[in-house]
Chains A and B, each alone.
Chain A
């Protein structure tokens, strides 16, 4: 079994949602993760808040937030266990992040550190 990272990319991190909407997303996300954990396939994960973020550029130039020139930003990640890339993709399809138009979930295999991968 391999581990995969599902990376949530938000098209526009500055968009503000209503508290009600946030609550709905929270529940959907918790149920989605709970469903993966119930299959014993959840490894870990975290949200990456947009506040208090900095970007360090070439020549050590520091700018505020991840939303300078690019709009798209990473909002969080989840690591899952899966037998194949396809299974990991199926997990990704359940992510509530995808309800936002323009948002994506990138599925990446995690290197095993065994000198081969």
Chain B
């Protein structure tokens, strides 16, 4: 590995471990202290390694520096509280216990932090932001970039989220067996959103996009490694992520422009990830609970077979019918109608599509434009133009413009 790549890579893997362990040690009230100390640890590496060389075991070096920094902080703090502010709220643990950076405690702490961050008391957006910061080691700049937002907004969002966790005195722990299913649901939602954030991110930084998805997968994997959280739904979500990720190499041009599914070179689909997805989908097929991740993973599996068979679209249609009964979302309704056009014909799909009335959704008009293509070019064009006016991203506008242009080949 190139010298200059070592530190960024270590940052990705070790920052979250150190932060999680320290935060677990200090308590949620000191979440920022944990982040700061972890940050300072890497700063120390940045200041030392270029001159003295990279230590033989870099991770161990980081752990021991982090430990010392925490120890020093605690000593200074105790001096301060002992002499000045004995009655401070949210005080740090009085005893200077050993900070445990064993593999087991690292893994446990990360898992516990995952549940802490995905606490229902803070909004989903903030959960994702905090997860990116604390569990994925993303910088504020990167988070702002991923959310297409600015540093200030993200900082405020994270600040409020930390305050809330402090105020609610959220315990850093894996919830009890009784609670786990409900809490796990929130965690899975956050991981699902985190993954989507990467998959659909508008940022042209392709490394960042894939990194977001990989981090979401890493955290989901963490849940599978723990017996109490290795549920069928978690396996289904992981399978879903594998199927989606299999198309990474095929869905964008080198300059970052999107390549639509139908135009993708399927020889670029990652067969290893598809096989992995199938493996975890099989593992997910136990127990009595069918989660929406099971259904979505099934749909995603069908999409790993490019051939346009009636069997494929009939299966996808029925899966969407099922998914919508479980949980409505506009995008599922639109995808269902597209599958309907493939399985039952465009005419039937137009009738159903007109009933959806999602009039502020660009994809609604995009779908209608698609359905009228070939039979009513004028209507198709009208709908596509409405979609264009409502489109929120440059990528979408480009795709729609292409479609409008291609309409004239039909007329």
Contact = CB atoms under 8 A, between A and B. Distances in A.
Interface of A: 27, 30-31, 33-35, 37-40, 42
Interface string B351-371: 010011100000000000000
Interface stretch (B47-55, B195-203, B288-296, B319-327): B319-327
Contact of B340 (A31, A33, A42): A31
Contacts of B314: 27
Given A31-B344, A33-B325, A38 B336 contact: yes
Chain B binding surface SS class: helix
A3 to B, nearest CB: 15
B356 A37 contact: no
Interface of B: 314, 317-318, 320-322, 324-325, 328, 332-333, 336-337, 340, 344, 352, 355-357
B317 A38 contact: no
B339 to A, nearest CB: 9
B356 A39 contact: yes
A20 to B, nearest CB: 15
Contact of B328 (A31, A33, A35, A40): A40
B325 A35 contact: no
Nearest to A43: B325
Contacts of B352: 35, 38
Most B CB within 10 A of own CB, among A27, A37, A39, A42 = A37
8 contacts: A33-B325, A34-B321, A34-B322, A34-B340, A38-B328, A38-B332, A39-B356, A40-B328
Given A34-B324, A38-B324, 14 more contacts: A27-B314, A27-B318, A30-B322, A34-B321, A34-B325, A34-B340, A35-B355, A37-B324, A38-B328, A38-B333, A38-B337, A39-B356, A42-B324, A42-B325
Contacts of B332: 38
A42 B322 CA distance: 11
A33 B340 CA distance: 13
Contacts of A39: 333, 355-357
Most A CB within 10 A of own CB, among B322, B325, B357 = B325
Most B CB within 10 A of own CB, among A35, A38, A39, A40 = A38
A31 B337 contact: no
Contacts of A42: 324-325, 328
Nearest to A32: B321
A42 B340 CA distance: 18
Given A40-B328, A40-B333, A42-B325, A34 B320 contact: yes
A31 B345 CA distance: 13
A34 B355 CA distance: 12
A54 B348 CA distance: 40
Contacts of B318: 27, 30, 34
Given A39-B333, A40-B328, A40-B333, A31 B321 contact: yes
A13 B320 CA distance: 30
A40 B314 CA distance: 21
Contacts of B355: 35, 38-39
A37 B317 contact: no
A34 B339 CA distance: 12
B321 A33 contact: yes
A27 B340 CA distance: 12
Nearest to B327: A37
Given A39-B355, A39-B356, A34 B328 contact: no
Nearest to B330: A40
A72 to B, nearest CB: 28
B259 to A, nearest CB: 28
B356 A34 contact: no
A57 B340 CA distance: 46
A34 B320 CA distance: 7
